[in-house]
Amino acid sequence: MKLKEIAAIVGCPFSGDGELEISGVKSAETASSADITFILGTKYKHYLDTSSAAAFIIPESFPETDRNVIRSANTYHTFARVLELYYQPPFPRGPFVHSSAVIAGNVVMGQNCYIGAHVVIDDDVQLGDNVTILPNTTIYPGVCIGDDVLIHANCVIREYCQIGHRVILQSGAVIGGDGFGFAKTNTGEYYKILQAGRVIIGDDVEIQANACIDRGTLDATIIRQGTKIDNLVQVAHGCQVGENCVFAAQVGLAGSTTVGDNVVLAGQVGVAGHCIIGDNVIATAQTGIPNSVEKDKIVSGTPAIDNKAWLRVSVALTKLPQLLNRVRELENAIDKMKEKQE
């Protein structure tokens, strides 16, 4: 595909040789003279001089260059669109039902669905159009799945859960597993509390490998439109997660936590139960959140505090050994002064 054709598809201006044939997309370090790559910002500007790439996707603010470039107001998004021109995952398309699939007689299936090997679909399930379910997935009774949903191998969707349109479930995701609910009896044993709620997943949500979204005890656990959940994330029973949130790997929400819109929780963030996290909150990696957080805050550390304060604390921690030595020296000096006075 020619450089000018790529630029036209992504709706961005280009400069250089528009007739240049581009054969692939690679990183700046590995790109060849037939590839296009991308540069996110000035930190990586040196790749314009050092990379062997034939062309670059660069920020529109970059100065003029004699390299072949496509200029974009959102470099990463443009890169993502260009990548789609050169790589399409080899996922099968329907209509197709594998002979080993087990499908209840009252399942309602839309048009062009693909059902892979050893898939089990139980009673009263509804599938929209263009649903792809890859091998060894199990769908319990009463589940409702929207259009254009992709469910990778080995997923489990429990009873009565609802999946919106254009949702992607990566391998091993469990939607609607029992919440961790037990009542302690008078004799000290733990009595299982039935988890009678369900999980509702909004449109355009992606839940990645081995993440678990637990069903509510009474009310639904809800993941709203556009939210992206990384591998090994735990969302406990009764949580409500807003729109366009991003949870990185190993994030954990305890039960009945409410998360607003556009919240970013970096890797290994933990949130205690019944907390309210406001809109636009960012929690940096390994933050422990024991209490509610107001909207628009950036928090860090355990227990979570304002990010700027945490940065100062982090610097101070590195100086504690010297401060401790200084305190000991001062204590020794005071002791000597006391001895002289005596």
Residues serving a catalytic function are 237
Contacts of residue 144, defined as CB under 8 A and 6 or more positions apart, other chains included, come to 125, 126, 161, 162, 163
Question: Which of left, alpha, beta for 188 (phi over 0: left; psi -120 to 50: alpha)?
Answer: left
The angle at the Cα of 244, spanning 241 to 247, to the nearest 5 degrees, equals 65
Task: Extract the tokens encoding 204.
Answer: 């355009």
Residue linked to tokens 């992709």: 150
The alpha-helical segments, DSSP class H, found in 13-102 are: 47-50, 75-86
**8 A C-beta contact, residue 289 and residue 306:** no
Cα gap 253→237, rounded to integer Å:
9
**8 A C-beta contact, residue 36 and residue 52:** no
Task: Extract the tokens encoding 339.
Answer: 């001895």
Cα gap 203→182, rounded to integer Å:
32
Cα gap 242→260, rounded to integer Å:
5
Cα gap 310→298, rounded to integer Å:
10
CA 19 to chain centre: 38
Cα gap 74→79, rounded to integer Å:
9
